[in-house]
Amino acid sequence: MPVFKSTGAEYAAVLDSVGKSFQGTAAIKSLSLKIPTAGVFALVGPDGAGKSTLLQMLCGLLTPDSGSLEVLGVSLPRGLAGVRPQLGYLSQHFSLYGDLSIDENMAFAAEIYGLKNYSDKRDELLEMTGLTPFRKRLADKLSGGMKQKLALACTLVHNPRLILLDEPTNGVDPVSRREFWKLLRGLGEQNITLVMSTPYMDEAERADSVAFIHEGKLLLTGSPGAIRRSWDRKILEIFCARNRAAMPVLSRFYPKGELQIFGDRVHLAMLQDGPEEDEVVRCLEDAGIRVKSSGPVRPRLENVFLSMIQKEAAVNG
């Protein structure tokens, strides 16, 4: 087994012009990306963006059609056998044996990685995930959140250095999701690299770095803070009586992607040479829509992302 230095390597994975198609349809289009070592890296994008394909390539389940891919300093697919024991992959679907108990699932997950003395690690993971009281319970009899935690525990039992999680919080209740994130954060601090895909922007906000993926292409990557700071636009938040009615009025100045409804408010990404705040408010009032309040707010990742998708669409015609 190749020996890896625990520190030194700056990137856990490096993708260079990677492409992948399925039956002629391109899922990933010449994508280049560097995933820094340690911490949580979030792949963000709508359904069908190519996040799962990317994760499956990183763990060797899929082979790129073009470009080069390096994981933990090893080129794939050539060095896959050597690097496989260092990887942990959690599929989007529940991929444990429902007819085996928590303990049995953990034992199987460890043993197929050739691990013999895993009981300490197993106990530690069960303690960490709060599953210890249910060890003898069959996986099928667990709640959705517990299943997901068990799946994570099984993914971690062989001490992987790079963990790939495909929408791990999908179908998990908010409380369990918070606990789940606490677990991920803790792992990120132990020099372990976690790459997770998520359709949720609030999750991306908590990651150390994010990459926006859209239609198989990388739109943007960086830390959430840096992305927000680098974005040169202001967000105007408007509370008005009738959000839906406001949309057609606002879309006269702004393309759809720059406008978002968040519950009782509308977010507007201001354009450099576009109308100012007072002008927008006046237009709404003229249309008979009463504006309760308005003002600039700190942009969220979601604002940036949606605006970028909008720009993409405009470029592509």
Partner 1 sequence: MKLELRAMIRKEFRQVFRDPHTLGILLLVPMLLLVLFGYAISMDVDNIVVGVLDNDKSPESRRITELFQVLDVFSPGESPTSPAEAEEALVDGRLNAALVIPSGFGRDLEAGKSPSLQLLIDGSNVLVASTAQGYIDAMFFDLSLRLDTEWRVPTAAGAATFTPPIDFRPRTWFNPELRSTVFLIPGLIAFIMVITAVLSTALSVVREKEKGTMEMLDASPLSSTTLIIGKTVPFMVISMLETVLILIAGRFLFGVGIMGSISLLLGITFLFLLSCLGIGLLISTVVDTQQSAFLLATIVIVLPTLILSGFIYPIRNMPLPVQAVTFLIPARYFITAERALMIRGAGAGSIWPQSVVLLGFSIFTLGLSSLRLGRRRRKR
Return d(Cα 61, Cα 282) in angstroms, integer. 56
> Which own/partner pairs from 62-67 qualify as long-range (CB within 8 Å, at least 24 positions apart)?
62/20, 64/18, 64/19, 64/20, 64/28, 65/19, 65/20, 65/21, 66/17, 66/18, 66/19, 66/30, 67/15, 67/16, 67/17, 67/18, 67/19, 67/30, 67/31, 67/32
Return d(Cα 198, Cα 12) in angstroms, integer. 19
The least CB distance from residue 173 to partner 1, in Å, is 21
133 binds partner 1 (CB under 8 A): no
84 binds partner 1 (CB under 8 A): yes
Q: What are phi and psi of 274, to 5 degrees?
A: -90, -175
59 binds partner 1 (CB under 8 A): yes
What kind and span of H or E run contains 205? helix 201-206
The footprint of partner 1 on this chain (CB under 8 A) covers a number of residues equal to 31
Q: Which of 18, 31, 89, 289 binds partner 1 (CB under 8 A)?
A: 89
- The angle formed by the CA atoms of residues 178, 182 and 220, to the nearest 5 degrees, is 85
CB atoms near residue 183 (< 10 Å):
19
Q: Which of 9, 38, 61, 74 binds partner 1 (CB under 8 A)?
A: 61
Nearer to partner 1, 104 or 179 (CB): 104
The per-residue DSSP string of 222-243 comes to E-HHHHHHH----EEEEEES-H
78 binds partner 1 (CB under 8 A): no
Q: Which of 6, 10, 25, 112 binds partner 1 (CB under 8 A)?
A: 112
85 binds partner 1 (CB under 8 A): yes
Residue 293, strand partner residues: 239
Q: Which of 5, 93, 136, 298 binds partner 1 (CB under 8 A)?
A: 93
The least CB distance from residue 54 to partner 1, in Å, is 14
Segment contacting partner 1 by CB under 8 A, of 113-121, 216-224, 252-260, 269-277:
113-121
91 binds partner 1 (CB under 8 A): yes
Q: Which of 15, 44, 96, 306 binds partner 1 (CB under 8 A)?
A: 96
Nearer to partner 1, 104 or 205 (CB): 104
309 binds partner 1 (CB under 8 A): no
- Closest Cα partner for 226 from 299, 136, 297? 299
239 binds partner 1 (CB under 8 A): no
113 binds partner 1 (CB under 8 A): yes
For residues 311 and 220, the answer to whether their CB atoms sit within 8 Å is no
- Closest Cα partner for 166 from 50, 7, 296? 50
Binding to partner 1 (CB under 8 A) within 151-190 occurs at: 154
121 binds partner 1 (CB under 8 A): no
Q: Which of 9, 11, 34, 104 binds partner 1 (CB under 8 A)?
A: 104
* Contacts with partner 1, residue ranges (CB under 8 A): 59-63, 77, 81, 84-85, 87, 89, 91, 93-100, 104, 107-109, 111-116, 154
